[in-house]
Amino acid sequence: MHPVMALVLLPVVVVFGGDDFLSRKDFPASMVFGSASSAYQVEGAALQDGRTPTIWDTFSHAGAYNGATGDVACDAYHKYKEDVQLMVHTGLEAYRFSISWTRLIPNGRGPINPKGLKYYNSLINELLSHGIQPHVTLYHDDLPQVLEDEYGGWLSQKIIKDFTAYADVCFKEFGDRVLYWTTVNEANVFTLGGYDLGFSPPGHCSPPFGNRPCSRGNSSTEPYIAAHNILLTHSSVVRLYKRKYKSTQHGFVGLNLFAYRFIPYTNTKADEAATLRAYDFYLGWFTSPLIFGDYPVTMKRRVGSRMPTFTMQQSKQVKGAIDFIGLNHYNTKSVKDLPGALERDLRDFTTDSGAEIVFEQAGDTPIGEFPVTQPGLQAVLEHIKNSYGNLPIYIHENGQMTPRNVTLNDTSRVEYLHVYIRNLLDAVRNGSNVRGYFSWSFLDGLELLDGYESGFGLYYVDLDDKNLTRYPKLSQHWYSSFLKGKSCKSSTVISDNVSSSQSEFFS
């Protein structure tokens, strides 16, 4: 018997901390709750039906994950109907996924791949037929490799034309059924991971910076160039949508950012100032141009001539080019001042900010659990509201990283979801303009940092089974009952098997 099946069938006894009840009914009916994934992390079929390589394919095949790739992943490309049935069973109101640019347009520009078009049409229609709202991300770390090879991808402003044309195809083909569009996922992390520290595609960095050996890059300049081009590209897509599609499709276009909750490492003024700088560098880097038309003064002063500048026309185009912010939040980090950082001969993003993020908790190891302590979602939302106005926000990702193993009894993830959704409720009641929440992730897929070593999913995917069977975790049962309006708490004792314990587990 497979160990997963053994766990499903054996009785378990579980106790959770905390005893406050929580229900979907506590939130406004207008809010939407769902779960999320991205193309390369779950689709598989990487070399099938006309899809061509992306920079994430190249990155994984170069050994970033010790041989693990997204070639097969969860095979959601073939199993999408089965997965939508699991979404229905869970009670998802929405599903956030990304479109693989090279599955739809294999050469990055030019002819549409009919099989790719058919797949995304089928997925969207399957979701809608079951009352599940599609939320689509256009770019999730998977730039066509052909464009990377041709002109350097995001380091060239040629990307603006090609990405806008790609977005135009998506709006034309799917916009009659998709209302919620995100241009780029985690624009800040993508630029830092891809062009400063090298831990994500395309894997650029330069000594003495970088979390891994890099064959090319310039950590002092490339992150700022790529970010600048992302902002210009995003604003181009927003202008296209408003000019060509808004009046008939009535949709919305946003940008997604990653956000820690930052707190000072000590109560010194230096660490408190560094914490504010960290918010400016991580969030203000993208949000300030979209709201005010320019980068934060703090960044411009500290980065100096390496910071790209907007022309007057570009500033007008970028300012206001946002219908909502997609926010990915997982945990809280302490920030320590870096004295003398600006005096260093070589500087990157971290030394420019003079704010060192202190990695000191259990969740800081590649496959450690994100701690439940100090839920910071409300604090991040309050910071955005107070700094940039109370614009609409969708929590696009929130969840707990745990080692990816055979246990379905993920009690820590249940507690995490309970604590963070409770924290979200406090933020909503305090006036934060949150329109939706998506757990990360629906399935255990290929993760950006460590391949298949960790998992965030509500469903475990058995990679050793040729059918890639999905198994619901305890967190799926909890989230499902929450979504279905039952009053859930995290201190109930279960004395039953996982698969049939819902009546005993939930009030």
* Joined tokens for residue 296: 């934060």
Contact predicate 428/387, CB 8 Å: no
Q: Quote the CA–CA distance of 282 and 197 in Å, as a whole number.
A: 15
Closest CA to 440 of 397, 475, 391, 402: 397
Helix, coil or strand: residue 167: helix
Which residue among 356, 397, 415, 447 is the active-site one?
397
299 by DSSP, 3-state: which?
Answer: helix
Rounded CA gap, 277 and 32, in Å? 32
Buried/exposed 263-285: b ≥16 CB within 10 Å, e otherwise: bbbeeeeebebbbbbbbbbbbbb
- Known catalytic membership, residue 397: yes
Q: Which of the residues 43, 93, 148, 186 is marked catalytic?
A: 186
Rg over CA atoms, the chain: 22
Instruction: Quote the CA–CA distance of 475 and 493 in Å, as a whole number.
Output: 14
Task: Please provide the distance, in angstroms rounded to a whole number, between the alpha carbons at the two ends of the chain.
Answer: 33
For 456, residues 6+ apart whose C-beta sits below 8 A from its C-beta are: 399, 400, 401, 402, 440, 441, 444, 447
Q: What are phi and psi of 188, to 5 degrees?
A: -70, -45
Sequence-separated (6 or more) residues with CB below 8 Å from residue 9: 497, 499
The residues annotated as belonging to the active site are: 186, 397
